[in-house]
Structure 1
């Protein structure tokens, strides 16, 4: 994996002074503008696994949407690979909290879908889908429909679909939040293995401090809205073995948990 020094010189995602204010839609009254993000600045190096944690409503998912190109900042700039983000693109794969698979397509066709929309020949896209389904442990169920799979299997299929165009960056918005504890832990392990195998840059939003520390090579904590980054800390926990077994895991977890508690307080400033 790339060193910290290497990633700092090869920013895959750069956020400079990013703020977002929007006016909620209301049929009945004129809603007041909402400041969701304020002055976000961060460089994400190529190959980093960045986890983003913070109180509900702090703008974690909104920040991910800006990088995905689903929304534009009110001020500041978002660049990917040195180019301003002007909308969604194949260089960024997105995995949502719910799998959002097409129920009328089997698993293989779901993974192929984005490739088919961009004109990739059938033989090529089918081979790519089968390769990815094997990678995520779903090779034996490629012909099944999504409703025949468990929730964890559906989410693995969604990850395979996001990886199909071979994006440089994977954006994950609480992808395991709706799963039971055992399935969630298993998918955390599988995602860590996938990241190590592919070298993708990952931005991962979660409400779980344990999940953030277990997965992240870098840990971001956001304050309650308007969201700002109040902790940006690289993780020195080794990745070859399970980070949870390392003696420093509890202290790293407590550092992040304390930052989240302060971020959720009435005075969210964190030194």
Structure 2
């Protein structure tokens, strides 16, 4: 019988997301513009395995969120290719759920109907939608406020509802773009614990963009650091910390944190060598 580690290793041999020399250059918005092209990303390559929780950190403007948008299919690279489950990304799809920095809930719908919205657009029957929404709202701890409107909830509760909405179509991949950045420190810490628990319960592949080194180290089974523009991967390091009972108290936490923080400092202040 396989051990848990062997099972995880076998599951991750096939890439859930493959980034093949991905580059992006923004050109002038019109032929009359004199603006110079802007190279946002250059030659990014990585294979992300199923079930990994990959955190992406780097200096402001390095292209972290841009990379996430490319994986989501909201924009397209000018060089290289992105594939999900072996298929090139040509558009958004239900295999990728997205959680933004702001919850972006529909204020005219209650929490349950916000969670159901994507399923409704996909033609899922009302009984199935209700059952799925109830399951997810219980998962994120909002089962008792399903009938409330978003403006009746705290910021943290709204973001939990947004996570439930992203999970509703049962995507294989969850893309999270600084989802806790606008929250107070206590709420942010609670939601870090919450998303870690959800990841452990669902086995989703997660790509999580953050500006916080501590958050990246606490959550990530794999840590990517990007250079300043044009964004490149300058550190790609696996981590065992998220499997610990409490990553913050793990004896390796300070060393991993310093490795990532040092890579971010180098990326912000110079033209670092790729590691």
TM > 0.5 fold call = yes
Aligned to 1:74: 78
- Cα deviation, residue 10, structure 1: 1.5
Give CA deviations for 1:100-132 in whole Å, capped at 9, x if unaligned. 000000000000000000100001001100110
Give CA deviations for 1:161-180 in whole Å, capped at 9, x if unaligned. 00000000000000000000
- Cα deviation, residue 25, structure 1: 3.7
- Cα deviation, residue 267, structure 1: 2.5
In 2: Cα distance, 1:101 partner to 1:238 partner: 29
Aligned to 1:269: 273
Mapped contact 2:233–2:274 kept (Cα < 8 A)? no
Aligned to 2:145: 141
Q: Aligned-pair RMSD on alpha carbons?
A: 1.6
In 2: Cα distance, 1:267 partner to 1:79 partner: 28
In 2: Cα distance, 1:77 partner to 1:6 partner: 25
How does 1:25-44 map onto structure 2 within 5 Å?
Answer: 25=29, 29-44=33-48
Report the TM-score, using the length of structure 2 for normalisation.
Answer: 0.95
Tell me which moved more, 30-39 or 128-137.
30-39
Structure 1 residues 270 and 195, CA, compared in 2 at 3 Å: closer, same or farther? same
In 1: Cα distance, 2:274 partner to 2:19 partner: 20
Structure 1 residues 57 and 185, CA, compared in 2 at 3 Å: closer, same or farther? same
In 2: Cα distance, 1:56 partner to 1:6 partner: 36
Aligned to 1:12: 16
Q: Secondary structure at the match of 1:204?
A: strand
Q: Secondary structure at the match of 1:100?
A: coil
Give the one of 38, 60, 64 matched to 2:64.
Answer: 60
Give CA deviations for 1:128-176 in whole Å, capped at 9, x if unaligned. 0011000000000000000000000000000000000000000000000
Give the one of 200, 220, 223 matched to 1:219.
Answer: 223
How does 1:151-170 map onto structure 2 within 5 Å?
Answer: 151-170=155-174
Give CA deviations for 1:187-231 in whole Å, capped at 9, x if unaligned. 000000000000000000000000000000000000000000000
Structure 2 portions without partners, runs of 5+ = none
- Cα deviation, residue 239, structure 1: 1.4
Does 1:206 pair with 2:210? yes
Following superposition, which runs of at least 4 residues in structure 1 exceed 4 angstroms of deviation? 1-4, 26-29
Mapped contact 1:129–1:164 kept (Cα < 8 A)? yes
